Structures are given as structure tokens and as C-alpha cells.
Amino acid sequence: VQPLRIALAQIAPRLGLLDENLARHHALIGQARTGGAGLVVFPELGLTGYLLQDLAAEVAMRLDDPRLLELAGATAGEGPAALSAIVSFVEESADHRLFIAVALLEDGRVRHVQRKLFLPTYGLFDERRFFAAGDLLRATPSRLGVGVGLSVCEDFWHLGVPQMLALDGAQLLVNVSSSPGRDLAALNEVGLGTATSWRTLLRTYAQLTTSFVVFVNRVGVDESISFWGGSEVIGPNGDAAFSAPLYDEGLYFVDVDLADVRRERIALPLLRDERLELAVRELGRIVKERAGQADDSTAEPGSQPGLDVAAR
């Protein structure tokens, strides 16, 4: 496990302009390499822009798309010239479902793909209307020497995601986002409610999973919404190693010592002490209760199986 230089590509993708965004990615991978980075991370839908609506089908790529393979090819290199890149795009499956996907590219190929699991469809979000949700959550080994756990924006608003990735072997949790900024109330810690919430989550997850958390959020404007950037790297003790400015586009370099994970996990063996079988057992019970296949311990007496209020 080596010291690692991470490049955070806090960019403003152009909406629906795949070729232009691909060119930008190629250029930034080059800059990251020149800057000595071993890993460069791009934001959610960095290759397409976020608010696509019906454009989603027009910018979708299959995993065998030559443009994606060419981008993966840009990660190949001898010795220090090799690097890993995490990129995000609209993925079309063979059966023509569209996913928001994030991929780890390294050694010139697509090493791992994670489809977005949680598609927010409430408030200002309408993702489920246009996209299918992924069904798999897997950590992946990497040339970086540690397991990597990929996730996309809203996935990190579900507690189980960072926990499962860490338990599956990830020591580096990466969340790529297109988070729309909102709530400018003056009482917010950093002047933006969204940023305050995210900063709390990232520190908490890093601490509870004793892992590095890398968060890359885009900047720029799609229609009414502005994306706030504020990309961060949080160490396994919950302290921020780096916080990018809000709203400023840039390629930010951060040096981390991946050996911090070992030190933290020895000192604070939270993952060692996790009770997976307990979680599986209780979750299994809750699933059965919801399906009406077992008595619901918290339902009103006399309620129908699967319902929690007794009809009168």
C-alpha cells in the first residue's frame, strides 16, 4: 500500500454533449497523470451532464462502446504513468435499460462498473422516470492495492451502502455526485444547507467504516439548478484531508497515506465487530413482516398481515 495522489475533477459537464465531455475527460486524465496522480475521479454523469430527461437515451453508451474503451485506454501506462480513473455516464444494457453508471478504468480497460442503486424521485429530482435502478453492490479490487467501493450521489443517503462496501472489502469509498445546491439560510455552517448535510454524512461514513471517503461533486448550472462542488477527501478517522471550494471548477490534487486505514482499523476495530449475521437475520425478519409472511412486532394488534394499522 503506497501513498496515493488523488485528483478530484470538479468540473461542469456540458449537458448532452458527450463528445465534448469525452474530450475534456481525456485532457484531464492527461493533466492528472502529469500532476503525478494515481487516481482521478470525475463527478456523476460527468460525461453527459445531469438534467438529461429524454436526452438520456441519446447519450447512452454500452459497456463495449468504443468511446468508453478509448477513454479506458487513456489510463494505461508504464510505471508511474499508469493511473486509475473513475468516470460516470449513462449505461445502456443489452435489454435497453438505461442506468446511471460509475466505472473504474485502469490498466487500459473497464475494471468495474457500479450502477446507481437509489434514484431520487422526489422534490426537485425525477430520476426514476428516466432511469433503471441497479441491483448489485460490489466492492472491487484495484491496482491501487486496496479494495474500492463505488457509489453515486443518492446511494450515500442510504446507510447500508457505505457499510456494505466497507464490509465487502473497500478501504477507499468513492461517491460521485451531481448534487444540486439549495437552502441558503444564513445559519448554515458553510452557507449552503446541502453542503452542510453532505459534509456531515461524509465524515460520519469515513469514521464509521474506518475508510477513506472520496466525494467528487460537479459544478456549473443545468437549467434552474446549480451544482455546488465542495468535493472532499476524508480520512478513516473522520477528519477532512482536503475540501475543495464551493462552486469553483478545477482539478484538485490530494495526497493520502492509505496506510492510515490499517492504523485506524487496528485502533478502532468497528468493522471487525460488525454483526453481519445479526443484520441479515433481523433484516430478513423485517422483509417477511412487510410481506405479511410473519407477525409484525410493531403493528397494531388486529392488523391484517403486511399492514401495520388495524382497520375498524
Partner 1 sequence: MSAIEHPRPMPNGAGLFDLPTELAIDTDVARRVIAEFIRGQLRQAGFERAVVGLSGGIDSALVAYLVAEAIGAERLLCLMLPYRTSAASSQGDAETVIEHLGCAGDMIEISSMVDAYFGWADTGLVGAAGAEGLTASALRRGNVMARIRMTVLYDRSVTWGGLVVGTSNKTESLIGYTTLFGDSASALNPIGDLYKSQVRQVAAAVGVPETIIRKAPSADLWPGQTDETEAGFTYPELDRLLFWLVDRRRSPEELEAKGFAPERIEWALKAVAGSEFKRQVAPVAKLGPRTAGVDYLYPRRRPGSART
Cell numbers representing residue 171 in the block: 478501504
Q: Which stretch binds partner 1 (CB under 8 A): 14-22, 71-79, 151-159, 303-311?
A: 14-22
- Taking CB under 8 A as the binding criterion, the range among 39-47, 73-81, 96-104, 184-192 that sits at the site for partner 1 is 184-192
- All 3 cell numbers of residue 160? 447500508
Q: Which one of 34, 54, 136, 311 is in contact with partner 1 (CB under 8 A)?
A: 54
Reduced to 3 states (helix: H, G, I; strand: E, B; else coil), residue 108 is coil
Interatomic CA distance for residues 158 and 86, integer angstroms:
21
Binding mask 213-252 for partner 1 (x = CB under 8 A): ------xxxxxx-x-------------------xx-----
Q: At what angle do helices 160-167 and 193-209 cross, to 10 degrees?
A: 30
| 1 makes contact with partner 1 (CB under 8 A) | no
**Between 90 and 174, CB nearer to partner 1:** 90
Binding to partner 1 by residue 17, rule CB under 8 A? yes
Q: Is 185 in the site for partner 1 (CB under 8 A)?
A: yes
Cell numbers standing for residue 248 = 469553483
Give yes or no for residue 299 binding partner 1 (CB under 8 A).
no
Binding residues for partner 1, total number by CB under 8 A: 25
- Work out how close the CB of 124 gets to partner 1 at its nearest, in angstroms, rounded to a whole number: 12
Establish if 186 lies at the interface with partner 1 (CB under 8 A).
yes
Residue of 78, 122, 123, 187 interacting with partner 1 (CB under 8 A): 187
CA distances from 279 to 1, 22, 136, 269, 276 (A): 31, 42, 18, 18, 5
Task: Specify the 3-state DSSP secondary structure of 273.
Answer: coil
15 touches partner 1 (CB under 8 A):
yes
Distance CA 28, CA 87 (A): 12
- Give which of 249, 245, 226 is closest to 50, Cα–Cα: 226
Establish if 51 lies at the interface with partner 1 (CB under 8 A): yes
Q: What is the largest CA-CA distance in the chain?
A: 73
* Segment contacting partner 1 by CB under 8 A, of 38-46, 70-78, 151-159, 188-196: 188-196
Distance CA 93, CA 63 (A): 8
Please tell me whether residue 16 binds partner 1 under the rule CB under 8 A.
yes
Per rule CB under 8 A, is residue 124 in the interface with partner 1? Answer: no
Q: Is 181 in the site for partner 1 (CB under 8 A)?
A: yes
Amino acid at 311: A
Helix (H, G, I), strand (E, B) or coil at 86: strand
Q: Which residues bind partner 1 (CB under 8 A)?
A: 15-17, 51-55, 181, 184-188, 191-192, 219-224, 226, 246-247
